[in-house]
């Protein structure tokens, strides 16, 4: 038997008890899931096409992206199944228990996703700046991030029981901004890896243009060095040079004299 309506939403002036921010959660989460997937695809393709090997930074961002996408997908699941984005008056006890379990899982995934994305960026900097003295800040920053993640996952917070009535739906802004932050970190940590593929595309394009201009220059050179024939105006046949013209005139004169001699012999005969 359903117990919908078991909880009562505090009524405040101007509050719409039928408000539903679920579609907004679905849209934002879906868009940022797509951004993370495209980012990872471009990063992996860049490594493969430019022949740059995978390293620690790439494996770390894969973990961070997996948790970020899972977090965003969990928000969509909560909207579809547990009335996330609506007032508590729409919820019953079974759905509330399921929602709280999902919230607990999201609380665990958030620090893991954020920390691994940050560690990926630090590992990328370590990979780029190989000066020993320049690597110490990255070590310190990585240690601080790991310590923060460990504290967030292990420390038990004490409840103060200061809950009071609220006119807002259940933590929509907190969930949305968490999804935006996590997936944006995946993009930010991957942007430096896009440079090699952009450089390769520009170099390949420049090489093709140079090859095309080189072939055109070779063709023009072969035409200019072929001095035996020239294209004459108003004719489809090649005209000869001045020396060849003299040879042609002489041959025509010889043929003409030969023809006249043959005609004279015929007449005499």
- pLDDT higher at 248 or 201: 201
List, for residues 102-117, the tens digit of each pLDDT value: 889 999 999 999 999 9
Q: Residue 194: pLDDT above 50?
A: yes
CA 138-141-147 angle, to 5 degrees, is: 140
Q: What is the mean pLDDT of residues 260-264?
A: 53
Residue 240 phi, psi dihedral angles, 5° rounding: -95, 170
- Structure tokens belonging to residue 89: 């008056």
pLDDT band for position 9 (cuts 50, 70, 90): low
pLDDT the model gives residue 187: 95
End-to-end distance of the chain based on CA atoms, in angstroms? Answer: 136
d(CA 20, CA 22): 5
74 neighbors 106 (Cβ within 8 angstroms)? yes
List, for residues 84-137, the tens digit of each pLDDT value: 888 777 777 888 888 889 889 999 999 999 999 999 999 998 888 877 777 888
Residue 16 phi, psi dihedral angles, 5° rounding: -90, 110
Q: Residue 246: pLDDT above 80?
A: no
Q: Where are the domains of the chain?
A: 22-156+169-196, 240-269
Q: What is the mean pLDDT of residues 37-48?
A: 94
- Return the residue matching tokens 């595309």: 201
pLDDT the model gives residue 256: 54
DSSP conformation letters of 130-143: --HHHHHHHHHHHH
- Structure tokens belonging to residue 242: 């001045």
pLDDT the model gives residue 196: 87
- Of 134-143, 154-163, 250-259, which range is least confident? 250-259
Q: Residue 163: pLDDT above 70?
A: no
């Amino acid at each position: 038997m359903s117990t919908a309506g078991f909880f009562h939403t505090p009524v405040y002036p101007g509050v719409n008890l039928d408000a539903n921010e679920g579609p907004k959660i679905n849209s934002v989460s879906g868009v940022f899931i797509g951004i993370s997937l495209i980012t990872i695809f471009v990063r992996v393709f860049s490594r493969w096409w430019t022949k740059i090997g995978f390293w620690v930074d790439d494996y770390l961002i894969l973990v961070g992206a997996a948790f970020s996408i899972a977090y965003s997908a969990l928000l969509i699941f909560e909207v579809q199944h547990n009335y996330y984005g609506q007032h508590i008056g729409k919820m019953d006890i079974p759905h509330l228990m399921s929602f709280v379990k999902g919230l607990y899982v999201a609380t665990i995934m958030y620090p893991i996703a954020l920390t691994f994305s940050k560690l990926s960026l630090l590992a990328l900097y370590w990979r780029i700046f190989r000066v020993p003295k320049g690597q110490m800040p990255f070590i310190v920053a990585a240690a601080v991030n790991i310590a923060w993640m460990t504290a967030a996952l292990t420390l038990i917070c004490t409840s103060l029981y200061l809950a009071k009535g609220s006119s807002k739906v259940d933590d929509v802004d907190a969930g949305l901004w968490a999804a935006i932050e996590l997936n944006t970190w995946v993009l930010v940590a991957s942007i430096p890896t896009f440079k090699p593929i952009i450089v390769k595309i520009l170099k390949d394009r420049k090489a093709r243009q140079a090859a095309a201009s080189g072939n055109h220059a070779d063709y023009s050179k072969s035409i200019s060095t072929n001095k035996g024939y020239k294209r004459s105006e108003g004719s489809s046949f090649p005209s000869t040079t001045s020396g060849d013209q003299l040879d042609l005139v002489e041959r025509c004169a010889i043929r003409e004299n030969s023809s006249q001699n043959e005609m004279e012999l015929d007449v005499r005969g």
